[in-house]
Amino acid sequence: MSIVLDGKKIRDEILAELRPRIEALKVKGRPPALAVILVGDNPASQIYVRNKIKACHELGIRSLDTKPPASITTEQLLEIIDGYNRDANVDGILVQMPLPPQIDAQQILLAVDPAKDADGFHLFNAGSLVANRPAPRACTPAGIIELLKRYQIPIAGKDAVVVGRSEIVGKPMALMLLNENATVTICHSRTRNLPEECRRADILVAAIGKPALLGADCIKPGAVVIDVGMNRVTDESEARRLFAHEPQRLANFAKNRNLLVGDVNPRAMRDLSSAYTPVPGGVGPLTIAMLMSNTVRLAEQHLS
């Protein structure tokens, strides 16, 4: 029977381990501080930022929230970031993506001081990951590595396949698995014979952003499946196809008229894998936990 990899459980472990470190920083002079910049009023971004701020408050991390209008220019946003870069009492800076189309997002990410890059997206920190040097790591893939280690799932020597090549998940995930001595294949929209490539995986990470794209033909029996996808299904026939084996999920669909599904067919994942992350409740909770971990680590460096 498959093991359900409980992201909430691992999140709680990580946060519990951060609390004494935060208290120690307070004794040194101040709590860690995270500046969060949310441009405009994107509903999904508002939810993400609200959850990040809530986690800060619960841990005792000071949060500084800036919410400029969607009409802000690149130059004006750069001024806000420069202010936080210069503030010695700010340890981490997070610019919530996506940004409005008139903003040069790459210029914004590069403007964040690498020593305050709580998301681990700056090119300097991405390069440090390539070189396997200490630096803030992208939060979602870092959380997945923590999940695998804390469930004592071997990585070294395993064949790992990452489906997706984004700068936020796919590429850093592949590098982190490589740094843990896995043999890594990256697949994407132009990969030929995707199921055959996926079936080679002892560890399959799906991060392509397409609901239930990977079916039973993509999963080697006994593989560990990490589903990063968070896709909302609103079509009733699709919900019934995917969750015919889960009456409670279908009841929830009938009530809410939508369901969350990952990038892997949920039944195939449950039936074929040795361990898997559910959607929701798997990878998602780990992202904010690793953001908090990055912020605390940066504060420790600044206050050392």
Mean pLDDT value across residues 23-50: 93
In the numeric block, the tokens 């690149």 are attached to: 74
Q: What is the mean pLDDT of residues 163-190?
A: 97
65 found inside a domain: yes
Query: Domain total for the chain?
Result: 2
Mean pLDDT of the chain: 96
Per annotation, catalytic residue among 52, 116, 171, 220: 52
> Based on the domain organization, do 274 and 144 belong to the same domain?
yes
The reported pLDDT for the residue numbered 15 is 98
CA dist list (Å): 235 to 69, 129, 211, 257: 34, 40, 12, 8
> What is the side-by-side strand order in the sheet with 33-37?
62-66, 33-37, 92-95
Query: What is the predicted pLDDT for the residue at 175?
Result: 98
Q: Is residue 46 annotated as part of the catalytic site, yes or no?
A: no
Contact, 263 vs 205, CB < 8 A?
A: no
Residue 301 a catalytic site member: no
Mean pLDDT, to the nearest integer, of 27-44?
94
Task: With respect to residue 98, please indicate whether it lies within any of the assigned structural domains.
Answer: yes
Domain that holds residue 107: 27-133
Residues 158 and 87 reside in one and the same domain: no
The verdict on 118 and 63 lying in the same domain is yes
Give the pLDDT confidence score for residue 43 in this predicted structure: 85
93 exposure class (CB count in 10 Å sphere: 0-12, 13-18, 19+): buried
- 174 with 232, same domain? yes
Verify that 211 and 254 share a domain, yes or no: yes
Q: H or E element: which one contains 169?
A: none
Considering 91, 117, 119, 227, which one is annotated as catalytic?
Answer: 119
Rounded mean pLDDT, 213-235: 96
Catalytic annotation, pick one of 91, 96, 171, 220: 96
Residue 152 shares a structural domain with residue 270: yes
Write the CATH number for 144.
Answer: 3.40.50.720
With a cut of 90, say whether residue 23 has pLDDT above it: yes
Task: Kindly state the percentage of the chain with pLDDT values over 90.
Answer: 94
As a whole number, mean pLDDT of residues 203-218 equals 97
The enclosing domain of 46 has a CATH number of 3.40.50.10860
Do residues 71 and 204 share a domain?
A: no
Structure confidence at residue 245 (pLDDT): 85
Active site annotation includes 171: no
Q: How big is the chain, counted in residues?
A: 304
Model confidence at 158: pLDDT above 90: yes
Q: What is the pLDDT of residues 112-126, one digit of tens each?
A: 999 999 999 999 999
Q: Residue 88: is it exposed, middle or buried by C-beta count within 10 angstroms (0-12/13-18/19+)? A: exposed
Residue 99: is its pLDDT beyond 90? yes
Q: Helix/strand/coil (H, E, C) string of 174-237?
A: HHHHHHCCCEEEEECCCCCCHHHHHCCCCEEEECCCCCCCECHHHCCCCCEEEECCCEEECCHH
